[in-house]
């Protein structure tokens, strides 16, 4: 393990961490702006030009608030909850390939923190861990609404994880690998997986909404029934962490969707661009394209939130177990049969 390697990875981790935090910060601003524009309003525009400093103002507000720990709560778990939510949201970014390797001088630096050959399984593991933050927070609050919300979150995540996993299996049949890097590499140019797996993509997208607790599946935090859900008892930056974790989750799942189904850093005409811009700038353009795709998906998340009303709990379970899972299994079978036929002839 040479020093340069450690340094390189350290810088990369820091950059990715900083980027995901900044994106989460400005997602809160973007959410309010998008909501406003979709409703013929203006949105925040007082802090700085166009309200650009609004996230900072919100952050300062969060830090300044009084921190309240309920008397009968489990103090230790009450503190662990938000931290865990934040941690599990952040570590998902480790296996996402942000771009092809860039060449600086003699050194080739891959724009991925670690290319483990079970990257996809890792993502799934992290996603299923994500519910622990919500569950522990809901349990430790010692509040019936929080507990109800925690139960909802747990059952919802378990139900939709199955459909999500099954929709990915069809993708694995096509790509034949679990490494995110290889999956992205296979989608060179315009050969994006969404063309081969449209049903799988729609299933994965729906499940991603459920996994990130976003509308129309935001049952764990519905204000009308559960007065905010698992973070009812939280105040100050602990609440901030929960809200923040949700936006980081949104960013990570947008990145996963973009790299699994929309080619990651691949775009039509990338070879030509790579030839004309060299090995340092070229990959960075790919990374830029990847981020544009991510932003498009984040916008889509917000767009859907302000369009579709929340599902009822029984509708949610019905959709998860009776519609998405059978569809995902059918998708696997059809994909398998088609692949077998193609290989045979």
Binding site for another protein (CB under 8 A): 34, 36-42, 45, 202, 303-304, 306-308
Query: What's the closest the beta carbon of residue 250 comes to another protein, in angstroms?
Result: 18
Distance CA 324, CA 199 (A): 10
- Residue found by looking up tokens 């694995």 in the block: 172
Only one residue has tokens 């811009």, namely: 277
CB of 45: closest distance to another protein in angstroms?
A: 8
Residue 24 or 206: the one with the smaller Cβ distance to another protein is: 206
Q: What is the dihedral of CA 145, 146, 147, 149, to 10 degrees?
A: 90
Please identify, using beta-carbon distances, which residue of 117 and 307 lies nearer to another protein. Answer: 307
Q: How far is the CB of 344 from another protein (least distance, A)?
A: 33
Q: Which residue number, 45 or 67, has a Cβ lying nearer to another protein?
A: 45
Q: Are 258 and 290 in contact (CB under 8 A)?
A: yes
Shortest spacing between CB 262 and another protein, in angstroms: 18
Q: How far is the CB of 306 from another protein (least distance, A)?
A: 6
**Closer residue to another protein (CB): 41 or 144:** 41
Distance, CA of 331 to CA of 44 (rounded, Å): 44
Q: What are phi and psi of 108, to 5 degrees?
A: -105, 120
Q: How far apart are CA 250 and CA 147, in angstroms?
A: 24
What are 71's two structure tokens? 């008397």
CA distances (Å), 111 to each of 28, 56, 57, 185, in order?
27, 29, 33, 13
Shorter beta-carbon distance to another protein: residue 37 or 63: 37
Q: What are phi and psi of 212, to 5 degrees?
A: -90, 5
Q: How far is the CB of 265 from another protein (least distance, A)?
A: 27
- Closer residue to another protein in complex, CB, 40/343: 40
Q: How far is the CB of 294 from another protein (least distance, A)?
A: 19
* Smaller CB separation from another protein, 33 or 152: 33
The residue (of 202 and 274) whose beta carbon lies closer to another protein is 202
Q: Minimum distance between the CB of residue 257 and another protein, rounded to whole angstroms?
A: 17
- Give the closest residue to 204 by CA, choosing from 260, 282, 148, 130: 260
Across 154-191, b (16+ Cβ under 10 Å) vs e yields: bbbbebbbebbbbbbebbebebeebbbbebbbbbeeee
């Amino acid at each position: 393990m040479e020093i340069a390697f450690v340094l390189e990875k350290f810088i990369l981790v820091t950059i990715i961490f900083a980027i995901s935090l900044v994106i989460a910060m400005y997602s809160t601003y973007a959410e309010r702006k998008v909501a406003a524009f979709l409703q013929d309003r203006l949105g925040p525009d007082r802090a700085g030009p166009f309200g650009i400093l609004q996230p900072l103002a919100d952050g300062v507000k969060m830090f300044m608030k009084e921190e309240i720990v309920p008397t009968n709560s489990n103090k230790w778990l009450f503190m662990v909850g938000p931290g865990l939510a934040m941690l599990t949201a952040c570590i998902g970014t480790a296996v996402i390939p942000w771009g092809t390797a860039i060449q600086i001088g003699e050194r080739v630096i891959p724009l991925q923190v670690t290319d483990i050959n079970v990257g996809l399984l890792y993502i799934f593991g992290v996603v299923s861990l994500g519910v622990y933050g919500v569950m522990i927070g809901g349990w430790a609050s010692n509040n019936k609404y929080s507990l109800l919300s925690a139960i909802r979150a747990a059952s919802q995540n378990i139900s939709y994880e199955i459909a999500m996993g099954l929709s990915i299996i069809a993708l694995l049949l096509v790509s034949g690998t679990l490494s995110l890097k290889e999956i992205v590499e296979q989608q060179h140019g315009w050969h994006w997986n969404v063309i081969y797996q449209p049903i799988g993509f729609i299933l994965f997208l729906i499940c991603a909404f459920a996994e990130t607790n976003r509308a129309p599946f935001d049952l764990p935090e519905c204000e009308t029934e559960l007065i905010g859900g698992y973070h009812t008892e939280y105040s100050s930056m602990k609440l901030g962490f929960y809200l923040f974790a949700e936006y980081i989750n949104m960013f990570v799942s947008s990145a996963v969707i973009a790299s699994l189904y929309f080619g990651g850093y691949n775009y039509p005409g990338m070879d030509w661009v790579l030839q004309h811009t060299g090995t340092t700038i070229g990959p960075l353009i790919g990374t830029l394209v990847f981020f544009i795709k991510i932003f498009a998906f984040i916008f889509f998340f917000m767009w859907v939130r302000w369009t579709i009303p929340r599902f009822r709990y029984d509708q949610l379970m019905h959709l998860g177990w009776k519609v998405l899972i059978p569809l995902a299994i059918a998708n696997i079978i059809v994909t398998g049969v088609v692949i077998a036929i193609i290989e045979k002839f």
